[in-house]
A and B are shown apart, each in its own frame.
Chain A
Amino acid sequence: MSESSAATHAGHHREGFVKHYFFSLDHKMIGRQFLFTGLFMLVIGGLLAMMVRWQLGYPEEPLPFMGGFSEDFWDGESWWAQTAPFGIVTSEFYNTLFTMHATIMIFFVVMPIMIGGFGNFLVPICIGAKDMAFPTLNMLSYWTFVPGVLLMLLSFFVPGGAAGGGWTSYAPLAAVPDYAGVEGHWGVTLWCISLFIIGFSSLMGSINYITTIINMRAPGMRLFRMPLTIWSLFIVAILLLLALPVLTSALAMMVFDRLFGTNFFIPDGGGEPLLWQHLFWFFGHPEVYVLVLPAMGVTSDVLSTFARKPIFGYRAMVYSMCAIAFLSWVVWGHHMFQSGMDPVLGTAFTLTTMLIAVPSAIKTFNWLGTLWGSSIRFTTAMWFALGFVSLFTIGGLSGIFMASTPVDIFIHDTYYIVAHIHYVVAGIIFGIFAGLYFWFPKMFGRMMSETLGKLHFLLTFVFFNLTFFPMHFLGVGGHMRRIYNPEQYEFLQPWQEMNTFITMMALCLGASQIFFAINFIGSLIWGRRAEDNPWEANTLEWDAPSPPPHGNFLEDPVVYRGAYEYSSPEVEEDWLPQSVYLEPAVAGEEGHD
């Protein structure tokens, strides 16, 4: 079948509906499948977050919209009546909510959208290839991902409910079913199995991305001419390839502990709970960079395009991503400063963590350098990219506090961490939006509404900061994370108003996403037809028709320059696509080689 997809690339050959929309081998369709799955999970993850916030803002009050249920319903045996009696979130359900919220957002929203969605759509087309190196493997990657999703969702409905040990599932709480305080051991077990499965999905993706980028670049597409999005995805694929198997091995041990009587992480049987933490964070820290690097890449591309200016310090951007990738293997212990790990190790990990902050700083300054002297077109995508930069600045700077061991003594496991996480990980959603508004025309052949888009940005940016910035204050006040009811603590009484405020802002933040949904779905159906290159951008995907056909390009592209030749003096327009060939005479005497 590989020959057939290669041979038919030019003509849009007819396939059956099922083959086209479900079992497509086309990287663009697989990308869209990941994108839609991720967006669907974003809705679920968001709703879970709203319930978490509700409980914190209005502890042990019934959730909204619960009045419609009758007394009989609450007396009944239905799943909801059991899980949240009278609409009140129980502490068991609360633990499930924040655990699943984080798990879903990280593994089922950011990863599939960024890596599965943008990665699949963009990697081949941006390097001028017709498809991935292994199209079948690519399809399998999606169809391995789906059972993982289903299993994770299904786990809400098994006896005992879904996993409730935090997205970090520290042992022995997660390794010994009895400690969870619910009857039934399925929650964490399914959590492990689901992550185990999507590990395979991700592995197939990584193999594909790396092979494709190494072997299938168009003529002239040198590594150092690739757009930074592709660089970030390349590095991320390598990180995932090497990090996820470690989690897989830990998950396997966890499942054995839970089901087959081993004692890897259970001290009563001679096991070592800290081993789980080491393995988890050895995976986990590279993982957070897996999440953020593509957002950085997308932001770089969007910024440069709409600043009409070459990215500032392209090589430095690439090298700092590489530096981040290397250093991310030796910083995991900064999640374990207070864990009982030898405090001398804590010292070593602070040092490495301080070092990894340097490339992040470089990237931020280079983004500013890109803006300096630019000629900015304020599109929605640009706004979201700028939003990402400012949120990442805050998130990166708040990381410095926690990297400092003495300060971390106090703020570890408080809302300060929650604020940090959200400024970086939820900030990544800004990168996702930037990418969506930017590539929507290419992906779906229609334009999104800029007016609705800007409204969406404004509301999201304002409510995001109103939701998450005050969490720094809670953290400084000592407010622990993962607690069910802050009112149980006297020293937190004064913070309850702040909690309520945050909850209201969070609800508004959630509600603002309606504008995105309207815009997205509306534009899919009624959007203005997009030209091939609506943003006047340089990279190869804009050479292809919108949306690109099977095989992507009408003519095999050849690459003559880097991705960021905006406002080049060589041409009159302020953009100069990578594939445009210029006669040396036109280039003028500026040339040097």
Chain B
Amino acid sequence: MLEQLIELMNRLNVNMLNWLPEAASTYAPAIDEVFYIIYIITGLAFLLVTVVMFWCLLRFKARPGRRARYSHGNVALELIWTIVPTIVFLGIFFYSQSTWSIIKYPSEFPESSVQVRVVAKQFAWEFHYPGPDGEFDTEDDKMFDGDMVVPVNQVVGLTLRGSDVIHSFFVPEFRLKQDILPRRDIPAWFNATKTGRFETPCAELCGPGHSGMKGWVNVYSDAEYQAWVAEQWPAPVDTGVEEMGQEDMPQGGVDPMDQEDSGQADTAQ
């Protein structure tokens, strides 16, 4: 049903939502769907109001000898246009809610297999990786200026950390946006469904350099990603993206695999 409608709108070339950036994360299509539904509902409401209004303007122009109808209202009608919008709006609320909670409720976050800390500062992004030991703030951490690398089709857990003012991490193709507060860690996640290089602007005014504060998310295929990891952490670590069950503590993108690094003991449960 929704698809046909979208199809129709496309054919009529009235589909504003064609302008959406391509959807490249698991939840992007879910957001777009809510977008579409509201678009259609509000579009119909807009048409209704406009048509009625134009009709009135054409039909009820003052003419000599005709008097306006002397009426103060109509309770039945007014009840209708109170109750119908209420139901529609509540419907939109419930419909939105499920998508919202999946994306933003920390309690409903999926398990992530790659963990990245995003540090925002005037006016650049830093992407921190925990390294083979899977823990932040250890020796093997690595920081990348402005470029993040993640594997496709895997849940990436983000820790958004601010340092000076408020910034906002925005990846248009993922439909991900989250403000970043100084001295606070805010969790977020995404699961990219397409490989490619996506721009990540800062979306919250953060000073004179706000415009141009941007970075990139590079979504690699599995093989590319592993190669990249091997290149970044060249130690004889048998890197590889974890496929087995992960512990429920923050996970590194690179599985320690209980090898040679002595720091492993405490990660394993």
Contact = CB atoms under 8 A, between A and B. Distances in A.
Check whether chain A touches chain B (CB < 8 angstroms). yes
Interface of A: 90-92, 94-95, 164-166, 170, 172-173, 176, 179-182, 267-268, 273-274, 307-316, 338-340, 343-344, 346-347, 350-351, 354-355, 357-358, 361-362, 364-366, 368-369, 371-378, 386, 389-390, 393-394, 397-398, 400-401, 403-407, 409-410, 412-414, 472-473, 476-478, 480, 482-485, 488-491, 564, 566-569, 574
Report the 5 A-B pairs with minimum CB-CB distance, sorted nearest first.
A373-B69, A478-B172, A484-B211, A313-B73, A371-B56
B178 A338 contact: yes
A207 to B, nearest CB: 33
Contact of A170 (B60, B166, B209): B166
Contacts of B19: 473, 476-477
Given A268-B182, A405-B100, A569-B70, A358 B89 contact: yes
Secondary structure call for the B interface: mixed
B211 to A, nearest CB: 4
B34 interface: yes
Contacts of A338: 168, 177-179
A405 B97 contact: yes
A85 to B, nearest CB: 14
B205 A166 contact: yes
A268 B81 contact: no
B42 A401 contact: yes
Contacts of A308: 62, 67-68
A280 to B, nearest CB: 13
Nearest to A473: B19
A354 B92 contact: yes
Interface of B: 16-17, 19-21, 30-31, 34-35, 38-39, 41-42, 45-46, 49-50, 52-53, 56-57, 60-63, 66-74, 77-78, 81-82, 85-86, 89-90, 92-93, 96-97, 99-101, 103-106, 122, 164-166, 168, 170, 172, 175-184, 186, 199, 201, 203-212, 214
Nearest to B81: A365
A476 B18 CA distance: 9
Given A91-B209, A343-B104, A366-B78, 15 more contacts: A95-B210, A313-B78, A343-B105, A347-B101, A371-B56, A373-B60, A374-B56, A375-B67, A377-B62, A400-B41, A405-B97, A406-B99, A414-B203, A477-B19, A564-B72
A350 B95 CA distance: 11
B190 to A, nearest CB: 11
Contacts of A365: 49, 78, 81
B31 A567 contact: no
A354 B38 CA distance: 12
24 contacts: A95-B205, A180-B207, A309-B69, A310-B70, A312-B72, A313-B74, A339-B181, A343-B104, A343-B105, A350-B93, A355-B89, A357-B85, A372-B60, A386-B53, A390-B49, A390-B53, A393-B46, A394-B46, A398-B42, A401-B42, A406-B34, A406-B96, A406-B100, A413-B203
Contacts of A407: 31, 34-35, 38, 96
A344 B106 CA distance: 10
A485 B211 contact: yes
A164 B208 contact: yes
- Select the residue from B46, B122, B201 with max chain A CB neighbours within 10 A: B201
B206 to A, nearest CB: 6
